[in-house]
Structure formats: structure tokens, C-alpha cells
Amino acid sequence: MMNRIWSRISYLGLKSFDKNLFNRNIIIANRINFFIICLLLLLNVLTYINREISNGPYTIHTKVLLILLLICFLNVLFSYKTWHNLTKVNLIVFPSLIIVFLPIFYGNVQESDFIDAPIVIIGLSFIPQLILIPKLNNSLYLISSFYFLILVSFLDNILVYYSP
């Protein structure tokens, strides 16, 4: 039962079940989306319970979790519709923008962001290594590499500009 569900999630949007390189990267992208959805659902439930128990505020970080969850659900829809390149672009671009830069642009800059944000960006820069093949998607691979390089390069200036 679980193997069948996992296989269905993995091969979502694929017409053939070949184990070629192109299908392998789509399978990995589908699995990453599923893992992120499970993680974000758990985090949203725990955040909701914590907020209800302690009468805490609805913060920008809660919005970040919800926006990421929405994007991952859209990625599943895009994979189902066989729009795999759009799924890959969403997995590359939006998590770093939403996790790191959305709170910064809302003015929520803390001292730990100067250490944590570059680590998060560098960690997210491994996603293109998993879901892109330089031989097949050379331009998208290079653009994503420059994208993360630019993010890390200008992050300190952005943090200083938006810090209180």
C-alpha cells in the first residue's frame, strides 16, 4: 500500500516508467515536493496549536509557512499537468525568496539572520544539483547557479539596509 502511494507520488506527471536521467530528476523533484508538503503541514499544525495555547500573534513566519505550502501544492499540480520545468523553477527560486527575503522585506531582521540566511541560501542551492542535469538543462542550471551567487553576494547589503 505505502509502496504504491510512494510510487504514484514519485511518477506523478510521467507517461513512462523508464529509469532514464530525465525521469529520474522529475521523480526527485516530486519526492522533494512531497517531503516539503509533509514537513510544512506538520509545522503549520504545530504552529497553530502553539499559537492557540499561548495566544501568540500571527507572524510573518507563519505566513512564510503557508505561502511555501501553497507553492508546493501548486508544484504538485504542475507536475500532474506535466509542466515539469515550471515545477523545477518554482523549487529553485521561491523557497529562498520566501524563507529568507520575505521576512527581511517586512522589516523582521534579527542578528541571527546575518548568520542563518547565508546558510539557508547555500543549503537551498543544492536543490538544482538534484533536479537539474547540466547536459539537458544547461541554461537553467547556469541561471540557477548565478541566481544563488547573486543572492549570497547581496544578502549582507540587504540585511543592513532593512535592519532596524
CB-count burial class (<10 Å; 0-12, 13-18, 19+) for 44: middle
- Quote the domain boundaries for residue 71: 21-162
In which band, very low, low, confident or very high, does the pLDDT at 119 lie, cut at 50, 70 and 90?
very high
Rounded-to-integer distance, Cα 155 and Cα 157, Å: 5
Domain for residue 11, yes or no? no
Query: Tens of pLDDT along 12-22?
Result: 888 877 778 77
Give the total number of structural domains in the chain: 1
Domain for residue 10, yes or no? no
Domain for residue 2, yes or no? no
Q: Is the pLDDT of residue 137 over 80?
A: no
Domain for residue 135, yes or no? yes
Domain for residue 32, yes or no? yes
